[in-house]
Amino acid sequence: MKRTDRQDPLVLPVDEIQEGASEYVLDVTAAGLDLQDAYYAFPGVIHVHLQLHRIMETFTLTGTVRTIARGECCRCLVPVEVPVRAELQVLFQLKNATPDELEAAAEDGGLVILRPGTRELNLAEHVHDGVLLELPVRVYCRKDCRGLCSHCGTDLNRDNCQCVGREQDPRWEALKNIKFR
């Protein structure tokens, strides 16, 4: 059998996976994982630390993936970097499955059933999906970010503008009367 250069260190030839426990500690790039998101960039490496436990044709994957996501403060739009940490837990089984079993596996993100004789386990897609699932819905530059003035766009964390008092939305008036302790 001709060996090709392994292109992706997270796509494992099944033949080379030992019985029992194996550990995979490596850093990959966002580009290498084809990791993209509409709201976040991934400026650093992706730290991958996985354990794979093989018993015959059953493979239990557990592990942790860590990286930094760079997004924008949802109020003032400055760049904000947040740590992202994903815990993976996936069970791979190589077996002839019934349609019912395949359907159940498709609904269960933690179970992957593959045909007997499958040559590779693709851990990369689970690392990829794990990171995307952990991205926060929104990020703030700081808890009390004052945001941008909705009238003139001034960054109210740095400056005051002259809009306050004019054209006040009555809904904000109610908020102003709330006392924060």
Tell the smallest beta-carbon distance from residue 176 to Zn ion (Å): 16
157 φ, ψ to 5°? -75, -25
In angstroms, the CA 10 to CA 6 distance is 9
**Between residues 78 and 104, which has the closer beta carbon with respect to Zn ion?**
78
Instruction: Name the minimum Å distance from CB 40 to Zn ion.
Output: 16
Phi then psi dihedrals of residue 114, to 5 deg: -120, 155
Smallest distance from the beta carbon of 70 to Zn ion, in angstroms? 14
- The residue among 119, 123, 114, 122 whose CA lies nearest residue 1 is 119
CB nearer Zn ion, residue 12 or residue 145: 145
Return the number of the residue (10 or 80) whose C-beta is nearest Zn ion.
80
Q: How far is the CB of 75 from Zn ion (least distance, A)?
A: 5
**Positions that interact with Zn ion (CB under 5 A):** 73, 75-76, 141, 145, 149, 151-152, 154, 161, 163
Query: What's the CA dihedral at 153, 157, 162, 164 to 10 degrees?
Result: 100
Q: Between 60 and 154, name the residue whose CB sits nearer to Zn ion.
A: 154
Residues 6 or more apart in contact with residue 48 via CB below 8 angstroms: 10, 24, 25, 26, 27, 28, 63, 65, 127
